Amino acid sequence: MAALLLLLLSPVWSVASAGGWEDAHATFYGDETGAETMQGACGYGNLFQQGYGLSTAALSVALFNGGWSCGGCYEIRCTNSSYCARGGSAPVTITATNLCPANYSKPNENWCNPPRRHFDLSKPMFLRLVTDFHVGIIPVRYRRVPCVKTGGVRFQMMGNKWWVAVLVFNVAGDGEVRAVAVKGGRDGGTWMDMTRNWGQVWNAHPRLVGQGLSFRVVAGDGRAVVMDHVVPPRWAFGQSFQAKGQFA
Question: pLDDT digit string (tens) for 13-60?
Answer: 444 445 589 999 999 998 888 888 998 999 999 999 999 999 999 999
Q: Quote the CA–CA distance of 25 and 111 in Å, as a whole number.
A: 8
Report the percentage of the chain scoring pLDDT > 70. Answer: 91
Beta-carbon contacts of 47 under 8 Å, excluding residues fewer than 6 positions away, are 34, 37, 38, 53, 54, 56, 97
Is the predicted pLDDT of residue 179 greater than 90, yes or no?
A: yes
Which pLDDT band holds residue 11 (cuts at 50, 70, 90)? very low
C-alpha R_g of the chain: 19
Q: Quote the CA–CA distance of 235 and 139 in Å, as a whole number.
A: 47
Q: How many CA atoms lie within 13 A of 109 on its CB side?
A: 4
In the three-class reduction of DSSP (H, G, I as helix; E, B as strand; rest coil), residue 99 is classed as strand
State the average pLDDT over residues 201-208. Answer: 93
Comparing CA positions, the residue from 175, 243, 196 lying closest to residue 215 is 243
How high does pLDDT run on average in the chain?
89
Q: Quote the CA–CA distance of 198 and 179 in Å, as a whole number.
A: 13
Give me the residues paired with residue 108 across strands: none
69 CA to centre of own chain = 7
Is the predicted pLDDT of residue 2 greater than 90, yes or no?
A: no
State the average pLDDT over residues 167-188. Answer: 93
Contact 26, 137 (CB under 8 A): yes
Contact 128, 90 (CB under 8 A): yes
| Interstrand relation of 240-242 and 22-29 (parallel, antiparallel or unpaired) | unpaired
Is the predicted pLDDT of residue 7 greater than 90, yes or no?
A: no
216 CA to centre of own chain = 17
Question: pLDDT digit string (tens) for 79-103?
Answer: 988 889 875 567 999 999 999 998 8
Question: pLDDT digit string (tens) for 102-135?
Answer: 887 777 778 899 999 999 999 999 999 999 888 8
* List of domains in the chain: 15-145 (2.40.40.10), 154-242 (2.60.40.760)
Q: Quote the CA–CA distance of 47 and 35 in Å, as a whole number.
A: 9
In the three-class reduction of DSSP (H, G, I as helix; E, B as strand; rest coil), residue 15 is classed as helix
Helices assigned H by DSSP within the chain: 61-64, 123-127
Comparing CA positions, the residue from 43, 44, 47 lying closest to residue 34 is 47
Can you give the pLDDT at residue 88? 55
37 CA to centre of own chain = 13
State the average pLDDT over residues 217-243. Answer: 96
